[in-house]
Amino acid sequence: MENKGSVLMQRYELGRLLGQGTFAKVYYARNLKTGQGVAIKVIDKEKVLKVGLIDQIKREISVMRLVRHPNILQLYEVMASRKKIYFVMEYAKGGELFNKIAKGKLKEDAARKYFQQLISAVDFCHSRGVYHRDLKPENLLLDENGNLKVSDFGLSALAESKRQDGLLHTTCGTPAYVAPEVINRKGYDGAKADIWSCGVILFVLLAGYLPFHDSNLMEMYRKIGKGEFKCPTWFPSEVRRLLSKMLDPNPNTRISIAKIKENSWFRKGFNSKSALVETESKEPAPLDVDTVFGPENSGTATEPKQESAKLTHLNAFDIISLSAGFDLSGLFEEPDHKSEARFTSRQPASVIISKLEGVAKRLGLKLKKDGGLLKLEGLKEGRKGVLSIDAEIFEVTPTFHLVEVKKSSGDTLEYQKILKQDMRPALKDIVWAWQGDLQQQEQDQEQQEQSS
């Protein structure tokens, strides 16, 4: 399937090889339906299983689903066959920023633009509880318009990777860009470590060479540990002061991103609104990353016991993004025409599944089960084709579940009618709360108080 011109999963035509590493190859490809150019990272499943890189790949999938920002390389979808995993990603036509630096230092305005975009992307990552941990020019790509795209989240850490002391403990990254506390293996704040790496990148953009460089690795580490570097004469005084605060060997006194964004040199020509504009493409479909590594022929003729259904485990940041207070869908959809609804339940997964089976039977819908995902499908064509409803169960804790119900095809009004008149009443004894109900109750209460 990896020959030029071959079609992958009946959806993408593979083109030239863009690059390759020990476990993966990256190809240029074209979406057959839209004609859009994409990059497809092809990972050899057997190789990553053999060397124990499964968790790293899973982390990369989880992280790339969390961080969607105009200056972060976008993950469109993940597919898998028996032997391969395919990451379908945004294609960065401009190549690596490293190639520009290799030709020499950048002009101040160009360096500042890339630095502004880098800080915007890193700030967004941190707001989602994600720390990159391997920021360097080779992981900074450019699109066809010359905009920065942060890539390669293989080493990134989610906030739940912290130990009880609240610090990360994995030593990773590229030596010349790594913060001293990471090298010292004493535990570190991922956000502060990323800020150090951003400082090294800013220096490299403006100087064309590294601030901490020595042919002797131990001597380089000594310089990093002491924050011992010298700025070239052409660096503006504001940049010198900013770098001294970013490349502070003490993480406790190192500058924060909020303070970097207040810096007068940084703010010159910075459009904070454009940095917040999200990419227009749809969110990738929720994905149980464990299924990507499922054994061959994992589907069997017999149904597994409901208690052992494979559920998607939510991390803190998925929960935040799903919680009512952070539900931004009202900005884009009419509240009466949403195609999805969510509820929480304190019942076991088996009870929730049993209840949903009862609903399907009562409504005469065909039911398909795939672990924690249930598909309820109509038997006849509606106004806009056959109605299909997905109900996915997420495990927040063993005794607390979140269920997302959404229309995957068919007529929205027909779906809304079934949801309101049939599903909600039938599920009321297992539902702890429907998302949005609390807000509605508060609004009703306010209206009653105003009228009384």
Mark the binding-site residues, compressed into ranges: 41
In 3D space, the residue among 99, 115, 191, 187 whose CA is nearest the CA of residue 147 turns out to be 115
Alpha-carbon distance of 388 to 368, in angstroms, equals 11
Residue 314 has a CB neighbour count (10 Å cut-off) of 19
DSSP 186: S
Q: Catalytic positions, please?
A: 134
Phi first, then psi: what are they for 398, rounded to 5°? -55, -25
Output the known binding site for ATP. Answer: 41
Beta-carbon neighbour count of residue 188 at 10 Å?
24
**Angstrom distances, CA of residue 340 to CA of 158, 310, 337, 352, 389:** 27, 22, 9, 17, 9
- Residue 282 CB: number of other CB atoms within 10 A? 8
Question: Residue 80 in contact with residue 292, Cβ under 8 Å?
Answer: yes
Extract the tokens encoding 395.
């495990």
82 in Cβ contact with 1 (< 8 Å): no
416-425: list long-range contacts, CB under 8 Å, 24+ apart: 416/336, 416/337, 418/363, 418/387, 418/389, 419/341, 422/359, 422/362, 422/363, 423/359
Q: How far is Cα 144 from Cα 162, in angstroms, rounded to an integer?
A: 37
Closest by alpha carbon to 411, among 389, 384, 388, 375? 384
By DSSP bridging, strand 385-397 and strand 373-382 are: antiparallel
Q: How far apart are CA 338 and CA 329, in angstroms?
A: 8
